[in-house]
Structure formats: C-alpha cells, structure tokens
C-alpha cells in the first residue's frame, strides 16, 4: 500500500497505528501518581496493580531553557521539539513559562491520556464487554436538591450480574455500607442514569453534611469531581460535571443513550423508563412512582419503592449493555480512558491516533490551519406532498470513499498514514460486518460492536479535515465536499433521465419514485445496480430502503411507511421533543391519514380537536410540555416565565409546564383548570401549518384558523340562549 507522501505502510504498522504499539491485554484502568502511573489489569486471579514509569511531555515550535526539561528534536516542521519531564508539576510549570514567552506549544492536559499516547497502551485490549465487572447505582431521596432543608437519602439501590439489592436505614450508615459494597464487589465501571447530574452530586453533598468519606477508589481514595465539560453527541454537545473514582470508570447512561440516538433521533424521551420501553428492555411488571411523592410512597408501601429502585438499576444495566459496545471497542484503539471515550468527540479520537503515531516515529506535529469556510453537503427537495411508491439509494460512506478513490489527504500528513489508516479501518469494518451477519448470539453482538466502532472512526475522517485539529486541511475538505455534491447530483439527474422522480437529495442519499417499469423489489435492486454501475470505481451505491408511500413536507422533514407498515419519521416538523403531546399526536395521526389519502378525515379531526381544546376537553397532560432547565433558563430574557417556576428542579433536569389563561407558565402539578385555551387552539393551527406545503392549495379550506372555530363556537352558544 503506497501513499502520496511518506514510505510504504505495511500490515504490522497499520495494526500499531490503529491499536497502539503496546500489546498488553486486560488493562481496565490507568491512574497517575507521584511515582508514575498505576496500571490496573484484570487477570484470572482478579485485578492486579502494576507500577509503570511515566514521563510527562509537551511539544513546542522552538526550544527554551526549562527546569528539568529533556529536549528531543523531531523530524519536520511545526511543533518540532519534544520536552519530557520527571514530574507532572514540572510540565505544567514549563507550559506557563512557554506561554509567557509567546512560544507556541501543544500538550494534553490529562496525565493518563499522555501516558497512554506515548506508551502506545490502550485499555480493554483482548477483552469483550462481558469481561468488565460492572455495578449499577441509583438513589431515592426526599428532595430533588441535596441543599433542601429536608434533603435525605431514603435508600440506595445497586445491581450487577447477580441481581439488584437495596441499602436502607440510617443515612450515615447507608453511605458507609455503599462504600463497602463498592470495595467488596470491585467494579471496573459504575453506571447510572443521570449519575453525573443527580446521584453522585447528591451522595457527595449528603456525605459532606454527615462527615462521611465516599472512599470508592481501588486505592481507597475518595470520589472527586472534575471541571465542567461537554459531552459530544453527534453535532451537538451537552454540559456535565464529571466525577472520578481512581481505578474505576463512571458511565452515565443518560449521556450514552443520547449519543446512541444522535443520528437516528428516533427516541421521544431519554428518561430511563421511556428508553427502556422503546428499546424493549423494560423490567417485567415495571413499577412507576411519581418522583415528587417518593417519600410518601415509601412511608405507605416501602416494598413498592424498593422494587421500583431495583428495577431502575436492572434497566440501567440492560441499557448500558445496549448502548456502550461501540465505546468499549473504541477504547481498545483510542489512547484514553473508557470513561472519557464515552463522552469525547470523534474528531479528537482521530487526532489522538495521528499524534500517537507521529510521536512514536519521532516526527514533528503540525500546527493547525486557521479556520476557513467551505460548502457543505448538497441538499434539495424537488417534490412535496404524498408520493408513492418510494425508493431510497445511498452512497456508502460517500466522503471517506471520495477521499480514498481520489487520494485526498491533509497536506500536513507528511508520513502518509491518514489514508492508509482510513483504508484499513474500512476493510476491517466490512470484515466485521460480514462476521456480524454470519454469527449469532454473543459472537454476533461482539462483531456488531466492533464494526460500529470502526464506522464511528471512518465517518470522522472527513469532519476532521474541516475542524480545528492539528492535521486539518480546509482545502482538502472543500475538495471532498464539491466532489460529493457533483456525484449525488449526477445520481439524481440519472434517475430523472431514466423516468424516475427525485423527491429529496440529502448529502449522500436520494429518495425517488422509481420509473413505472420498476415494479417490485428485485426490479428496484437491478435498477439501483444499473445506476451504481455508472459511478467511479470505489464509489458504491446501495439500495437503502423501499416504502409504500412518503409524505414530503420540506427539506429533511418527511414520513415514510414501509410495505410492512413500519413508519420512519424525520425532522422537527413531525417529531420534536419540544412539542406538546397533543401536537405530536395530531401530527402522527395526520401522517397516517395523508398516507391513506384521506384529507377529508384529517380536516375533520383538526376541527374536532380545535373545538375540544376550546371547550376544555383535552387533559392538561396532553397540553403541557417538558422543558429542560439549563443555565439559560436563568439568564435569558426570553426564559423569564420558565425561571419563575423552576422551584427545586436542578439544572439538566426536566419540568412539565403549561400556559395559564393569564399568559404565565405553571407546573402541571399545580394545574387548576386555568389553561390558555385560545393559545393551545392557535398552537394546533401552527402544527397544521407544518403540513401546508404537502397538503397544497386546499390547506386553507381544510384547516381554518382557530379564530373561525371560536366564532362558530360563540355563535352556537348564542343560538342556544336564543340570541340572534
């Protein structure tokens, strides 16, 4: 395998580039200390701790006299000098001195990450997820805030593969017993749903108030909290405050499931009970207890609350098994802790692989290019309305394929490892996908997790080019994008030249109505194969779905129904978590009726619902909406109404609110038949407006604005009183 720059990259080197040079297996954690690092390794005899040497490091674009620094020149330009130190504080002092002198430098701020990167070590090598010793944790409390006067932990629930248990009684003794359980069960990973946002801060606050130490570390050290950071979730991030236990990892399944759903966006809620239902992992006979009344319910029926909490930890364990495999296998490649891999962005993962290999070879690190704008993917809607039948084609890994077929790599990659790494990951993913299809049971699940981890990295190579990382290249990113636009347009134009009708183009996929002669699935497959045959070698077109009908509303907003009756909904116009339940339900029913071609019934349902809202016949639970409390709730002028009703709800948690007839907001638990009916009737009309383009010219007749409904209602009321 040859590269445009650098020497040939051979198979053993590719293994090292992807997995690191150190082949040690069974490492479950690495922690930094004054005498180096402690490596925790799981063996047949249990977890053993090994001491290893660690020399903190930084790279700079010039040398300077620094206390206790050992300088090594690196080949190439940019950050061409490596400084190593005996102790971490010496490296930190060096960074301050370099900054004061205006000398550009680069280093990772986490000593564990520095060690893993320079040593070529990665965690979890040679392991499968079932090898991890995991413990799930949940608490039930008298208040949502640990600062409340009546704050108290009612019980602690914990679980592992042996089942779930609760700890109850004196609060101080509960905390001590929990620490004992963690030490005895010795988990590699502690899991919880919103554990960073609620459980750990609450436990720490109560422990502080009761003078109890949460000494959960493998070395007996206490739980500690880090600085606020952001968890990457596709194109978004979410703030959280991490917590750390030495020798163990903490995984928040609330953050994990949001990452898991980032692209599909199929989940209506990320609450544990709702997610468990959607994924089919809910515990049999699931108990639901109102959080506001936990203390009262515990006083009335303690066993019911115990079982509720036990079910929480069991579902948390099942959820972690469902959503964490990709991060597990990424940790075998990426020089970082499992806990950090689970929240860090994919571009940074690529960056660390490149930095690791460049330093291993004694090569200088480049300085990142300044930001530059470039075009995005090609998106176009050519048809709106109800369309049938519909086929979707997709260019498999469009941008990575363009990079490989056309040799597009960052100019800063002087060793020529960027494209060979991408090619090798792609080949390994195809092999893993084939194994996942061929295997069943645990082996099939294992290979699915492996292929998913490769996919995450592969799909990050293009985004890496256009971001602020060391090896970025905005001109290369633009070349990839423009070529992608050209290819997807060519596919769409070819569809229309051969008698199809293009509905929507979105970056690497096309929805279309096939030519009349293409009448069944086999004919569709043959047609897609013909379309793909005209593409350049290395660019693969796949049949990615067939649907009985599609409702196309606007760009990236549509609904499809398969021949098996399964529906696919995309876009905030049809399914936004910010929408009130009555609106979401109306839109879902609207899609059903539009797909069935029954606009008359849809119009009738709209009028019925509008009138029901105006006469107060809709339950408040359908009108109220969930709203997340964030820092902006208290700082944004537009959020003043929300800030007024936050109460004890912590930042990051949800409250359910509705609009009163006086225009203010109230929490749903304080409802007193005072909803703003005119507001909600107007809101229904706004929901209907989302369908306007697809409905067409008849929209105004079929969906009259609520002012007309109110006028009809008032007129009917006057007639009943004999008023003309």
The top-level CATH class assigned to 375-409+473-575 is alpha beta
8 Å CB contact between 629 and 641:
no
Sort strands 134-141 and 189-192 into parallel, antiparallel or unpaired.
parallel
- pLDDT for 655 equals 87
pLDDT, one tens digit per residue, over 84-124 is: 999 999 999 999 999 999 999 999 999 999 999 999 999 99
pLDDT at residue 2 tops 90: no
Please tell me which residue, 696 or 577, carries the higher pLDDT value: 696
Please tell me which residue, 724 or 320, carries the higher pLDDT value: 320
- Residue 263's CB is within 10 A of a number of other CB atoms, namely 11
Tell which residue, 420, 415, 422, 471, has the closest CA to residue 6: 415
- CA–CA separation, 225 and 240 (whole Å): 11
8 Å CB contact between 140 and 298:
yes
- pLDDT for 724 equals 39
pLDDT, one tens digit per residue, over 663-689 is: 999 999 899 999 999 999 999 999 999
- pLDDT for 546 equals 95
Tell which residue, 363, 332, 359, has the closest CA to residue 55: 359
pLDDT at residue 196 tops 50: yes
Contacts for 301 with CB less than 8 Å, ≥ 6 apart: none
pLDDT, one tens digit per residue, over 445-471 is: 999 999 999 999 999 999 999 999 999
Alpha carbons within 13 angstroms on the beta-carbon side of residue 60 total 24
Sort strands 541-547 and 390-395 into parallel, antiparallel or unpaired.
antiparallel
- pLDDT for 262 equals 82
Q: Token match 């660690």: residue?
A: 54
Tell which residue, 166, 188, 187, has the closest CA to residue 177: 166
Average pLDDT over residues 305-333: 96
Q: What percent of the chain has pLDDT over 90?
A: 82
Average pLDDT over residues 374-390: 93
**DSSP assignment letter at 579:** S
Helices (H), 210-345: 253-260, 272-279, 294-300, 302-323, 325-331, 338-341
- pLDDT for 171 equals 97
Average pLDDT over residues 489-511: 96
Integer CA distances (angstroms), 17 to 111, 422, 663, in order: 21, 11, 60
Give the model's confidence band at 630: pLDDT under 50 very low, under 70 low, under 90 confident, else very high: confident
Give the model's confidence band at 593: pLDDT under 50 very low, under 70 low, under 90 confident, else very high: very high
- pLDDT for 8 equals 57
Q: Which two tokens stand for residue 257?
A: 């499931």
- Residue 400's CB is within 10 A of a number of other CB atoms, namely 22
- Classify the C-alpha dihedral 715-721-723-724 as positive or negative: positive
Contacts for 286 with CB less than 8 Å, ≥ 6 apart: 273, 276, 311
- Ramachandran bin of 355, using left for φ above 0, alpha for ψ from -120 to 50, beta for the remaining angles: alpha
CATH of domain 581-720: 1.10.132.60
pLDDT, one tens digit per residue, over 120-159 is: 999 999 999 999 999 999 999 998 889 888 999 999 999 9
**Displacement of CA 397 from its chain's centroid (Å):** 20
- pLDDT for 604 equals 96
Alpha carbons within 13 angstroms on the beta-carbon side of residue 20 total 27
Q: Which two tokens stand for residue 158?
A: 């914990």
Tell which residue, 19, 222, 201, 202, has the closest CA to residue 126: 19
pTM, rounded to two decimals: 0.88
- Classify the C-alpha dihedral 322-323-325-328 as positive or negative: negative
- pLDDT for 243 equals 97
Average pLDDT over residues 560-574: 88
Give the model's confidence band at 721: pLDDT under 50 very low, under 70 low, under 90 confident, else very high: very low
Contacts for 679 with CB less than 8 Å, ≥ 6 apart: 659
Please name the helix (run of DSSP H) or strand (run of DSSP E) that holds residue 160, with its range, or none: strand 153-160
The residue extents of the domains of the chain are 21-127, 129-330, 375-409+473-575, 581-720
For residue 29, whether the previous peptide bond is cis, meaning omega lies within 30 degrees of 0, is: no
CATH of domain 129-330: 3.30.420.10
pLDDT at residue 473 tops 60: yes
- CA–CA separation, 70 and 655 (whole Å): 55
Mean pLDDT over the full length of the chain: 92
pLDDT, one tens digit per residue, over 537-547 is: 999 999 999 99
Sort strands 501-506 and 81-84 into parallel, antiparallel or unpaired.
unpaired
Is residue 307 classed as helix, strand or coil in its secondary structure? Answer: helix
Q: What percent of the chain has pLDDT over 70?
A: 96
């Amino acid at each position: 395998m040859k590269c445009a720059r650098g020497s040939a990259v051979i198979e053993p080197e590719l293994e090292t580039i992807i997995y690191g040079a150190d082949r040690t297996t069974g490492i479950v954690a690495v922690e930094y200390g004054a005498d180096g690092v402690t490596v925790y390794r799981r063996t047949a005899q249990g977890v053993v701790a090994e001491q290893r040497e660690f020399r903190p490091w930084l790279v700079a674009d010039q040398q300077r006299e620094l206390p206790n620094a050992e300088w090594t020149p690196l080949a190439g330009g940019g950050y061409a000098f490596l400084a190593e130190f005996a102790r971490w504080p010496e490296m930190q002092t060096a960074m301050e001195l370099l900054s004061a002198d205006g000398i550009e430098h680069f280093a990772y701020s986490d000593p564990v990450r520095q060690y893993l990167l320079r040593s070529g070590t990665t965690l979890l090598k040679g392991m499968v997820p079932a090898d991890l010793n995991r413990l799930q944790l949940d608490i039930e409390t008298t208040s949502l805030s640990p600062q409340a006067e009546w704050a108290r932990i009612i019980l602690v629930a914990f679980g592992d593969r042996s089942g779930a248990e609760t700890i109850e009684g004196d609060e101080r003794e509960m905390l001590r017993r929990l620490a004992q359980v963690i030490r005895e069960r010795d988990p590699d990973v502690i899991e919880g749903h919103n554990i960073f946002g609620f459980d750990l801060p609450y436990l720490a606050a109560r422990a502080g108030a009761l003078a109890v130490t949460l000494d959960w570390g493998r070395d007996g050290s206490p739980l500690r909290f880090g600085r606020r950071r952001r968890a990457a979730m596709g194109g978004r991030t979410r703030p959280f405050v991490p917590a750390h236990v030495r020798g163990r990892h903490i995984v928040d399944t609330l953050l994990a499931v949001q990452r898991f759903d980032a692209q599909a966006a199929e989940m209506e809620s990320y609450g544990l009970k709702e997610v468990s239902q959607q994924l089919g992992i809910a515990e049999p006979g699931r108990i639901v207890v109102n959080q506001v009344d936990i203390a009262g319910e515990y006083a009335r029926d303690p066993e019911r609350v115990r079982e509720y909490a036990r079910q929480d930890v069991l579902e948390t364990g099942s959820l972690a098994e469902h959503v964490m495999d990709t991060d597990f296998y990424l940790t075998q490649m990426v020089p970082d802790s499992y806990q950090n891999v689970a929240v860090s962005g994919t571009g940074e993962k690529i960056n660390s692989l490149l930095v690791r290999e460049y330093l291993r070879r004694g090569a200088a690190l480049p300085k990142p290019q300044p930001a530059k704008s470039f075009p995005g993917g090609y998106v176009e809607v050519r048809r709106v309305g109800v369309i049938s039948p519909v086929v979707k084609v997709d260019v498999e890994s469009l941008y990575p394929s363009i990079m490989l077929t056309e040799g597009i790599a960052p100019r800063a990659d002087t060793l020529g490892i960027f494209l060979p790494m991408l090619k090798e990951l792609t080949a390994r993913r195809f092999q893993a996908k084939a194994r996942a299809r061929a295997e069943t049971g645990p082996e099939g699940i294992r290979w699915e997790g492996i292929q998913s981890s490769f996919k995450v990295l592969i799909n990050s190579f293009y985004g890496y080019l256009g971001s602020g990382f060391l090896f970025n290249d905005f001109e290369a990113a633009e070349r990839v994008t423009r070529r992608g636009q050209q290819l997807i347009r060519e596919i769409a134009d070819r569809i229309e030249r051969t008698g199809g009708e293009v509905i929507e183009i979105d970056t690497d996929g096309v929805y279309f109505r096939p030519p009349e002669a293409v009448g069944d699935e086999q004919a569709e497959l043959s047609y897609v194969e013909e379309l793909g045959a005209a593409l350049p070698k290395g660019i693969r077109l796949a049949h990615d779905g067939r649907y009985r009908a599609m409702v196309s509303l606007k760009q990236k907003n549509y609904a499809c129904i398969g021949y098996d009756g399964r529906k696919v909904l995309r876009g905030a116009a049809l399914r936004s978590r910010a929408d009130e339940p009555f609106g979401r339900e109306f839109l879902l029913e609207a899609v059903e009726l539009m797909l069935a071609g029954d606009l008359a019934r849809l119009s009738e349902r709209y009028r019925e619902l509008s009138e029901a809202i105006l006469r107060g016949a809709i339950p408040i639970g359908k009108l109220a909406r969930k709203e997340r409390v964030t820092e902006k709730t208290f700082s944004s002028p537009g959020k003043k109404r929300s800030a007024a009703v936050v109460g004890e709800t912590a930042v990051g948690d949800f409250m359910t609110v509705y609009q009163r007839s006086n225009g203010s907001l109230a929490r749903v638990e304080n409802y007193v038949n005072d909803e703003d009916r005119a507001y909600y009737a107007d809101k229904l009309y706004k929901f209907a407006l989302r369908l306007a383009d697809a409905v067409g010219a008849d929209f105004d007749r079929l969906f009259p604005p609520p002012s007309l409904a109110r006028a009809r209602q008032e007129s009917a009321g006057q007639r009943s009183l004999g008023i003309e």
